[in-house]
Amino acid sequence: MTSWNPLILTLILFVPTAGAILITLLPRQSNAIRWSALLVSLVTFALSLHLPAHFVYGQQGFQFESDRVWIANPLIHYHVGVDGLSMWLIVLTTFLAPIGVLASWKTIGERKKEFYALFLLQQTAMIGVFIALDLMLYYAFWEMSLVPMALLIGMFGRKNGRAAAIKFFVYTFVPSALLLVAMIWLYAHTGTFDFVVLRQMRLGGALNFSATAGMFLSLAFLLAFAVKVPIFPLHGWLADALSEAPTAMAMVLAGKLGLYSILRFSFGLFPDESRRVAPILIALGVIGILYGALLAWVQTDLKRLASYSTLSHLGFCVLGIFSFTIASTDGGVYQILNHGISAGALFVLLGILYERFGTYEISDYGGLAARLPFFSAMMVGTALSLIGLPALNGFVGEFLVLSGSFGVHTYWTAAATLGVILSAVYMLSMLQRVLYGEPSTRVLALGNGTPNGDLTLREQTAMWPLLILIVLMGVLSPYWMRAINALYGSQPAQVQAVNHTMKAGE
């Protein structure tokens, strides 16, 4: 099977594109559209499992590499490869795809063809971002990921999809322009876009520029990524886009693309500069945690609540990765994965609610637990994972982040700990208002013309893998940490061991 290694990433990358092309050729009303979308995303997921199965732990550098010249002048390579960081992000992406298809099964009635074709294109773009090791290739996928996302938000949004889509696009596109300037500047000074080469030059001291230029470059990189995460105060697009986005898009919209890019490119190419701005980012991350949590507390709309809780949770990732200790980085990266799964589960559950009741208003609900016991149990599990209950995945990430950063940024970490409490406050009060108490009229009317009962087989199929992972990642974290730890081998300058950190996951 090893002969597959150089090819596998390309396959994972383009199978969704092929699927998208196939879907555009299918007849408009055909049922085959969603089945083929499901099939394609399952195949992609199966292919991506090749990565953890054949990943060589402890080996430095990138694996499954493939490097060809794409354009001779300027020299742009089709250079792809993964390390411990991107491997799990790819698997996470491909894992969420079939769940996204299942979650959209019923809600997308009209214009299925557009939806699933764009959905699969979006897959390609996201996977491309994670595997590209050439800055231009990376940028191409980075920008490409915007288009299907914006179109999907706009076409399948709730009320203000169009405005949210344009806001999302412009918010991300404008800083990307600066990113492009920085990338071309690097190329103009080095003659290469290759990340691996550039990093070696940078670490080996072969790539030197003035302190000012370095700062401007690193800020251009960081700004583009920070908007995509988003990091407070650049989160203006988040609540609108997330609350408008169809479930399948809300699951993947925030977090991992931006955070991954910070870890890979900002830290990889500008280690010193990143360290210099770290205190500011720590502060912004913690403000984001608290601000997001407080805003989530006062929301009356379930999806907006989930959006602000996303902002809050991503703050932990920011705190973790910018503390530059082994434990906190482990925790930050782990938290990216956790967030993908737990927030994904939350959005699927909210979508299920919306399918039945057609509303996200918290006040329209109440007493669901009696009518939808399965659903409610899953909702509670997901919420507990987001709160960070021990033995569930969220705890591992948050604990590592907080313990790792406590030694370096004591006060900010102490403030961030408040965020954990706040997240329990808003999540539990949401659960209380939605699941318990007196059943509302809508809940009582359940079954009159709406899908009546508890979770259907399709919904269960979508939810169980997520819940199982929530538990597994809580109790078996070393399995994932192994690969994440390999990061330090490949990026030694990023994380300096701070004396009193614990070795994560061991």
Partner 1 sequence: MSWTHILPELILTIGGILVMLTESFLKPRSSRFSVALLACLSALAAMGASVWQLHAPAGSAYWGAIYTDAYSSFFHVLIAAILLCSLLVSADYFRGRMHRGELYALMLFGATGMMLMTSASSLLLVFIGLEISSISTYILTGFRKDTATGPEAALKYFLLGSFATAFFLYGVALAFGATGTDNIYTIGSVLVLNPSPLAVVSLALMLIGLGLKISAAPFHVWTPDVYEGAPSPVTGFMSTGPKAAAFAVLLKILLVAYPTLHPTWSVLLWILAAISMTVGNLGALLQNSVKRMLAYSSIAHAGYILVAFAAGSAEGVAAASFYLVSYAAMNIGAFTILSYAARYEERAASFSDFAGLARRSPFIAATFTLFLLSLIGIPFTGGFFGKFYVFTAALHSGLVWLTVIGLLNSGLAAFYYLRVIATMYMRSPDEGTALTLKPMSFGTATVLVFAAAATLFLGIVPSHVLDAAQSAAASLTASPNAATTAPAAAVNPAP
The least distance separating partner 1 from the CB of residue 348, rounded to whole angstroms, comes to 24
Residues 328 and 323: their CA atoms lie apart, in Å, by 6
The least distance separating partner 1 from the CB of residue 154, rounded to whole angstroms, comes to 4
In whole angstroms, how far apart are CA 475 and each of 305, 470, 505?
28, 9, 10
**What DSSP line would sit under 110-140, residue for residue?**
S-HHHHHHHHHHHHHHHHHHHHB-BHHHHHH
Q: Which is nearer to partner 1, 118 or 434 (CB)?
A: 118
Residues 312 and 292: their CA atoms lie apart, in Å, by 5
Residue 151 interacts with partner 1 (CB under 8 A): yes or no: yes
Residue 277 interacts with partner 1 (CB under 8 A): yes or no: no
Q: Which of 80, 91, 150, 349 binds partner 1 (CB under 8 A)?
A: 150
Residues 61 and 67: their CA atoms lie apart, in Å, by 14
Q: Which is nearer to partner 1, 39 or 155 (CB)?
A: 155
How crowded is residue 117: how many other Cβ atoms within 10 Å of its Cβ? 23
Residues 171-200 interacting with partner 1 (rule: CB under 8 A): 173-178, 180-181, 184-185, 187-188
Residue 162 interacts with partner 1 (CB under 8 A): yes or no: yes
Residue 236 interacts with partner 1 (CB under 8 A): yes or no: no
Residues 30-49 interacting with partner 1 (rule: CB under 8 A): none
The least distance separating partner 1 from the CB of residue 443, rounded to whole angstroms, comes to 32
Residues 378-417 interacting with partner 1 (rule: CB under 8 A): none
Residue 111 interacts with partner 1 (CB under 8 A): yes or no: yes
How crowded is residue 102: how many other Cβ atoms within 10 Å of its Cβ? 23
Residue 21 interacts with partner 1 (CB under 8 A): yes or no: no
Q: Which is nearer to partner 1, 102 or 120 (CB)?
A: 120
Provide the token pair at 202: 């940078």
Contact 234, 192 (CB under 8 A): no
Contact 270, 493 (CB under 8 A): no
Q: Which of 82, 89, 126, 165 binds partner 1 (CB under 8 A)?
A: 165
Residue 201 interacts with partner 1 (CB under 8 A): yes or no: no
The least distance separating partner 1 from the CB of residue 185, rounded to whole angstroms, comes to 5
The least distance separating partner 1 from the CB of residue 181, rounded to whole angstroms, comes to 5
Residues 51-80 interacting with partner 1 (rule: CB under 8 A): 71-74
Q: Give the closest residue to 67 by CA, choosing from 195, 250, 254.
A: 195
Residue 211 interacts with partner 1 (CB under 8 A): yes or no: no
DSSP 8-state code for residue 458: H
Residues 158 and 434: their CA atoms lie apart, in Å, by 21
Residue 230 interacts with partner 1 (CB under 8 A): yes or no: no
Residue 16 interacts with partner 1 (CB under 8 A): yes or no: no
Piece in contact with partner 1 (CB under 8 A), picked from 138-146, 282-290, 325-333, 344-352: 138-146
Helix (H, G, I), strand (E, B) or coil at 452: coil
Contact 320, 405 (CB under 8 A): yes
76 phi and psi angles, rounded to 5 deg:
-120, 125
As a dihedral over the C-alpha atoms of residue 193, residue 198, residue 201, residue 205, rounded to 10 degrees, the angle is 110
Q: Which is nearer to partner 1, 244 or 398 (CB)?
A: 244
Residue 140 interacts with partner 1 (CB under 8 A): yes or no: yes
Angle of CA points 347, 310, 376, to nearest 5°: 40
The least distance separating partner 1 from the CB of residue 314, rounded to whole angstroms, comes to 24
Residues 446 and 424: their CA atoms lie apart, in Å, by 29
Provide the token pair at 285: 């991350």
Interface residues with partner 1 (CB under 8 A) are: 71-74, 111, 114, 136, 139-141, 143-144, 146-147, 150-151, 154-155, 157, 161-162, 165-166, 169-170, 173-178, 180-181, 184-185, 187-188
